[in-house]
């Protein structure tokens, strides 16, 4: 059997594992719940109902697919660390399959599961916009592509932490803290200091919504009269730079996870 055939088998097997796990359906349920909350809450909170600008509503609804990308953390947290923690690596890694093939197969399976969630999220977004406004802006396709890229970046970062962690839970927690706490705090500090912050993973996730018109678009949907907010808080980073940043996270995170996994001892 060629290495490509082995990769196909590993990917297929790992993807079936994701399909059979409840975490996939829990994240899907949360995505649907968040989208429903936006669709219900927006007309209730805004006196004139849904925003007149379809781009504003599209940006608001993008929170659902953004949440779906967090599924990458839960799909990949135990991808490598779990094999060492559960000692299953003694069986898996001693088979005549190269570790790079195993890690790549696990990565592709996780990416497929995340992509499935994102596709379902954007189906909801598109149907909602079509029903409310009778149109779906072309920026939705751009947002979809950015969401897929961000999901791949999060997956690679999670694989890296999984490759150096002793347990699956540790890898999951570390990744969530890195993205939602460390990166977010540094992001806020750099924004207040009016410094570039396009290279942070938390900022990269904002591109999913800012592609519709930037942070400034939310000012249109939610006028903040009477609030003295520094103008730099609403300066949107360059989307092109954020794409470069996400590609770097994706490639470097994956390459490091493969390199570390190949050298990590089972015992």
Which pLDDT band, with edges at 50, 70 and 90, does 245 fall under?
A: very high
Q: Pull the structure tokens for residue 246.
A: 């996400």
Q: Pull the structure tokens for residue 251.
A: 């490639």
User: Quick one: pLDDT at residue 136?
Assistant: 94
Is the model's pLDDT at 81 over the cut of 90?
A: no
Any residues with CB less than 8 A from the CB of 133 and at least 6 apart, and which?
54, 57
Euclidean distance between CA atoms 119 and 50, whole angstroms: 24
Cβ distance 66 to 205 under 8 Å? yes
Average pLDDT of the segment spanning 208-223: 72
Any residues with CB less than 8 A from the CB of 235 and at least 6 apart, and which?
194, 215
pTM over 0.85: yes
- The domain ranges of the chain are 3-263
Is the model's pLDDT at 165 over the cut of 50?
A: yes
3-state helix, strand, coil in the chain (%, to 5): 75, 0, 25
Cβ distance 257 to 102 under 8 Å? no
Is the model's pLDDT at 264 over the cut of 90?
A: no
Distance of CA 218 to the CA centre of its chain: 21
Euclidean distance between CA atoms 260 and 267, whole angstroms: 15
Euclidean distance between CA atoms 55 and 212, whole angstroms: 6
Over residues 175-209, the pLDDT tens digits come to 888 988 999 899 888 888 888 889 999 889 889 98
Which pLDDT band, with edges at 50, 70 and 90, does 118 fall under?
A: very high
């Amino acid at each position: 059997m060629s290495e490509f055939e082995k990769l196909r088998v590993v990917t297929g097997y790992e993807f079936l594992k994701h399909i059979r796990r409840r975490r996939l359906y829990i994240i899907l349920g949360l995505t649907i719940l968040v989208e429903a909350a936006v669709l219900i809450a927006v007309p209730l909170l805004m006196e004139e109902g849904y925003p007149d600008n379809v781009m504003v509503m599209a940006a608001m609804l993008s929170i659902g697919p953004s949440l779906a990308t967090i599924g990458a953390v839960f799909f990949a947290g135990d991808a490598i660390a779990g094999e060492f923690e559960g000692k299953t690596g003694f069986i898996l890694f001693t088979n005549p399959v190269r570790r790079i093939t195993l890690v790549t197969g696990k990565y592709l399976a996780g990416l497929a599961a995340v992509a499935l969630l994102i596709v379902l999220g954007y189906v909801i977004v598109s149907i909602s916009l079509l029903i409310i406004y009778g149109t779906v802006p072309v920026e939705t396709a751009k947002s979809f592509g950015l969401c897929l890229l961000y999901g791949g970046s999060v997956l690679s970062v999670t694989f890296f932490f999984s490759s150096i962690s002793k347990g699956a839970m540790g890898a999951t927690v570390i990744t969530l803290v890195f993205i939602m706490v460390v990166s977010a705090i540094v992001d806020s500090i750099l924004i207040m200091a009016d410094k570039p912050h396009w290279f942070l993973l938390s900022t990269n996730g904002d591109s999913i919504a800012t592609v519709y018109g930037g942070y400034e678009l939310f000012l249109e949907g939610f006028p903040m009269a009477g609030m003295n907010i520094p103008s730099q808080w609403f300066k949107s980073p360059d989307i092109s730079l954020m794409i470069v940043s996400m590609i770097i996270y994706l490639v470097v995170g994956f390459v490091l996870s493969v390199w570390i996994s190949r050298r990590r001892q089972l015992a």
